[in-house]
Amino acid sequence: MTMTVSITLYGEISKDPEDWEKWYFDSKKICELLGYQANYFAIIGENIANDRIRTIKRSERKLLKLLKEKEKVDILAVYVIPKNFTSAITDYMVTISRGENCVTLVMQKKKYMEIDPNVYIKILNKHINMEYGEIYEMAINEFPEMYASKANDPSFYKTLRIIKKLHKEELNI
């Protein structure tokens, strides 16, 4: 069972369409800082017919065109997925997503042990008026992004362990 650690910030997301492009490039930057190259993305929005992940290599131009045209975006996620994956939802190395009221970075636990989380919190915080946040560990097959979106009560997640609660006033960023 692959364990993950997530950094999730909750609060108000900017409604400015130009911020989605900034989010996309910062997500790719986070992947690079973690030692990876982002290779997939997923986007959900009002007039966007894209219900599956796409390769950055083949579809980045279309994505950037959509973002420049200021289409209404609800969720944009960037992934690092190994070449011979079976399921993107459980085989990723990193996923970074921005949704309605949170931004979240999920990585494998072994990678988290190598990093300074404050570096990543600082980048994520540029994209949200943060009210609070959490750093938490859970099994990848319990879908950390579902926990981040508050899809279920915390008691639903059998492997969930809160590492740290984040409070805006405590962050020195």
Under DSSP, the state recorded for 142 is G
Say whether 35 sits in a helix, a strand or coil. Answer: coil
- What stretch of H or E contains 112? helix 109-112
pTM recorded for the entire structure: 0.94
Q: Report the alpha-carbon angle 21-81-147, nearest 5.
A: 75
pLDDT in tens, the chain (173 residues): 899 999 999 999 987 888 999 999 999 999 999 999 999 999 888 877 666 888 999 998 988 888 888 878 889 999 999 999 998 888 999 999 999 899 999 999 999 999 999 999 999 999 999 999 999 999 999 999 999 999 999 999 999 999 999 998 776 65
Give the C-alpha distances (Å, rounded to integers) separating 120 from 90, 106, 117, 125, 130: 22, 11, 5, 8, 14
Contacts (Cβ under 8 Å, ≥6 apart) of 136 = 5, 6, 8, 144, 147, 160, 161, 162, 163
